[in-house]
A and B are shown apart, each in its own frame.
Chain A
Amino acid sequence: MKIHRLARKELMIAFAFLIPSLVGFAVFYLIPFVQSVLLSFQDKGGGGSLTLDNYKDVLTSLSFQKAAANTFWFTVVSVPLLVVLSLVLALLLNQRVFFRDWLRTAYVMPLVVPVASIVLVWQILFDWNGAFNGVLMHFGQDRVDWMKSDWAGLVIILIYIWKNVGYNVVLFLAGLQNIPDQYYEIASLEGAGRMRTLFGITLTYLTPTTFLVILMSVLNSFKVFRETYLVAGAYPHDQIYLMQHYMNNMFLSLDIQKLSAAAVLMALSILVLVAVLFRTERVFRSFME
């Protein structure tokens, strides 16, 4: 009886701590999301009947298809690239190195440099008359219209990596420092080679960190829209027209039903992605144990 009462008391206390967050979270995220799901099935004319027209409109729209495909490819290419690069950097930084703390600060710095300021520099580098074309011309090559050709995708990937590599390096470094030294000692006693140690110990015990890094990298890959938008505007080159451009442009036309349908589709694909990631992590973890 006493235990029961104690548990109830703790429940009340937990509730008291949670309530400010819960109310706001419900009002600004949960409830409107449910509303947008309902809206996505609503007829534009305002009739009460449910319809799949909004979804049909969105899915068959060419700009949606283009945006979805571009975003998919951007994520598939840039996230693994970023994760591998930050892992390599973290492995290098984890060895004997001069000025380690300074280097780490330099790598994290881009995270705090305002986007709008950076765009200016980006133009200086990648403009038709920009610095990179200057270098190309110096070596007798033809100029490239970076933001208005198929190179645009590469430029955006570069911005994404430049911005996020530091955050991931810090995460990886923490993960690396959490691997007990004894593991490495045992491995060297048993005569394991460098590659074997890297894969058998370092990467294996880094799995939980890697999982988190991937999750954060996916999350941050959706923020690259800001840079893209500021560099290339609302209607950039075909190759970098992302889901976020599509959504933003729909916002401006204020077609809330279609917008909701697109949001629901986007949310669904994120859910699938997260589910796959969590499942993979579980498989890995049981494999490790």
Chain B
Amino acid sequence: MMKKLISITMLRSVLLLMLAVVMLMPVILMVDNSFMTEKEIQANYSMLGKTSTNEIVNMKLIPDWVSFDQYYKVLISTSAFLFMFWNSVLLVLPIIAGQVLVATLAAFAFGKLQFPGRESLFFLYLITMLMPFQVTLVSNYIMADQLGLLNTHSSIILPGVFGAFGVFLLRQFMMHIHSAYLEAAKMDGAGYLRIFFTIALPMVKPGVAALVVLLFADYWNMVEQPLIFLQDANLQPLSIFLSRIQEELLGVSFAASVVYMMPMVLLFLFAERYFIEGIQLSGVKG
């Protein structure tokens, strides 16, 4: 009986492990390709996108020769890469900082304070959050045009700061804070601002962590907004750059991808515990 139980667990684990390897395959492939030399990349992948040849790509897990050529080219000898990396940072950091700030304040009001029209106002946020990107993009465009923001980073940052997702996610967390804490603080004469900073904010930390990771994943990858709002190539973020270099600069594109992926993956691994906790709590109905 015991033996059978263990072997079923084993079987299940192996099955799930195999699936995990499949899920991680693209990442593994990218990382090991980034250590190949230009020559090896060309030999393996130059037939991509060509119907004239019958050659098949050569997928290798271990490079013939471990080389840092690609990294050297990306980080040191091509200035365009770092420049656009910086553009990405300039776009994404203000959005995250802004939305976290604005959304925690609003979420506190929605989750813990009483006021008439609370539910209907929140419903409006919820519907907006559920709208496909292309619908809100039209609104964002109309406003950016009127405010004269087109072709500036602000045309992307400002709508990002006021996105509805943060309010939705953090409200779920605020609702989990037991009202007894707030009542006790009020008894002790603490004002709402003090309650917000000393009680609510520390207690929704996992929510903030989840929000930061999810926003980062979303905005670090943005493609549509920069394509539509930023005509000036000097303003474009790395996500656009990366999607364009693939054909011409196949040799460095893997290292470029890895460098581009790094901040995202590091942030994720660093905040993973909070992040998972965050997603989990967002699902629990308050």
B and A form one assembly? yes
A117 to B102, CA, bound (A): 31
Contact with A along B249-274 (1 / 0, CB 8 A): 00001100110110011011000100
Contact with A along B24-61 (1 / 0, CB 8 A): 11110110000000000000010111110111110100
Contacts known (A14-B113, A21-B103); A29 close to B224, Cβ less than 8 A:
no
A116 sits at the interface (CB 8 A): yes
B233 smallest CB distance to A (angstroms): 16
A118 smallest CB distance to B (angstroms): 6
| Main DSSP-derived SS at the A contact region | helix
- B217 & A117 in contact (Cβ 8 Å cutoff): no
A151 smallest CB distance to B (angstroms): 16
Please indicate the chain B residues that have their CB under 8 angstroms from the CB of A179 in the complex: none
Please indicate the chain B residues that have their CB under 8 angstroms from the CB of A7 in the complex: 114
A93 to B203, CA, bound (A): 28
Interface residues on chain A, number (Cβ under 8 Å) = 100
A99 sits at the interface (CB 8 A): yes
- B224 interface neighbour in A110, A116, A121, A248, Cβ under 8 Å: A248
Please indicate the chain A residues that have their CB under 8 angstroms from the CB of B238 in the complex: 116
B16 sits at the interface (CB 8 A): yes
Instruction: List A residues 78-105 near B (Cβ within 8 Å).
Output: 89, 92-93, 95-99, 102-105
A122 to B57, CA, bound (A): 12
B76 sits at the interface (CB 8 A): no
- B29 & A271 in contact (Cβ 8 Å cutoff): no
B280 sits at the interface (CB 8 A): yes
A143 smallest CB distance to B (angstroms): 9
- A107 & B23 in contact (Cβ 8 Å cutoff): yes
- B109 & A14 in contact (Cβ 8 Å cutoff): yes
A107 to B139, CA, bound (A): 34
A274 smallest CB distance to B (angstroms): 6
B167 sits at the interface (CB 8 A): yes
Contacts known (A32-B142, A36-B138, A243-B132); A167 close to B213, Cβ less than 8 A:
no
Contacts known (A14-B115, A21-B105, A116-B243); A129 close to B12, Cβ less than 8 A:
no
- A107 & B20 in contact (Cβ 8 Å cutoff): yes
- B221 interface neighbour in A109, A114, A120, Cβ under 8 Å: A114
Please tell me the size bucket of the interface on B: 35 or more
A112 to B53, CA, bound (A): 35
- A130 & B13 in contact (Cβ 8 Å cutoff): no
- B239 & A28 in contact (Cβ 8 Å cutoff): no
A24 to B163, CA, bound (A): 9
Residue of B nearest to A7 (CB): B114
Which listed segment binds B: A57-65, A183-191, A194-202, A218-226?
A218-226
- A171 & B224 in contact (Cβ 8 Å cutoff): no
- A270 & B141 in contact (Cβ 8 Å cutoff): no
- B223 interface neighbour in A208, A230, A260, Cβ under 8 Å: A230
A35 sits at the interface (CB 8 A): yes
A111 to B254, CA, bound (A): 19
Please indicate the chain B residues that have their CB under 8 angstroms from the CB of A42 in the complex: none
- B57 & A174 in contact (Cβ 8 Å cutoff): no
Contact with A along B153-170 (1 / 0, CB 8 A): 000001101101001000
- A259 interface neighbour in B108, B138, B192, B221, Cβ under 8 Å: B138
- A17 & B116 in contact (Cβ 8 Å cutoff): no
A224 smallest CB distance to B (angstroms): 11
- B239 & A114 in contact (Cβ 8 Å cutoff): yes
A70 sits at the interface (CB 8 A): no
Please indicate the chain B residues that have their CB under 8 angstroms from the CB of A288 in the complex: none
A106 to B164, CA, bound (A): 28
B71 sits at the interface (CB 8 A): no
A54 sits at the interface (CB 8 A): no
- B239 & A116 in contact (Cβ 8 Å cutoff): yes
Contacts known (A118-B26, A170-B276, A174-B283); A263 close to B135, Cβ less than 8 A:
yes
A215 sits at the interface (CB 8 A): yes
Please indicate the chain A residues that have their CB under 8 angstroms from the CB of B213 in the complex: 112
Please indicate the chain B residues that have their CB under 8 angstroms from the CB of A102 in the complex: 20
A267 smallest CB distance to B (angstroms): 5
B170 smallest CB distance to A (angstroms): 11
Q: List 13 A-B contacts (CB under 8 A).
A: A13-B113, A17-B106, A93-B16, A108-B268, A110-B26, A114-B220, A124-B59, A130-B56, A171-B283, A174-B281, A218-B130, A222-B134, A252-B228
With A20-B102, A114-B264, A165-B23 given, can you name 16 additional A-B contacts, CB distance below 8 Å?
A10-B114, A29-B162, A29-B164, A103-B16, A109-B23, A110-B26, A113-B261, A113-B265, A114-B221, A117-B242, A129-B54, A208-B285, A222-B133, A225-B133, A256-B142, A259-B138
**Which 5 A-B pairs have CB atoms at the shortest separation, nearest pair first?**
A24-B162, A117-B257, A174-B280, A21-B106, A106-B20
Using a CB–CB distance below 8 Å, which chain B residues touch chain A? 5, 9-10, 12-13, 15-17, 19-21, 23-27, 29-30, 45, 47-51, 53-57, 59, 101-103, 105-106, 108-110, 113-116, 118, 124-125, 127-143, 158-159, 161-162, 164, 167, 192, 196, 213, 216-217, 220-221, 223-224, 227-228, 238-240, 242-243, 246, 253-254, 257-258, 260-261, 264-265, 267-268, 272, 275-276, 279-285
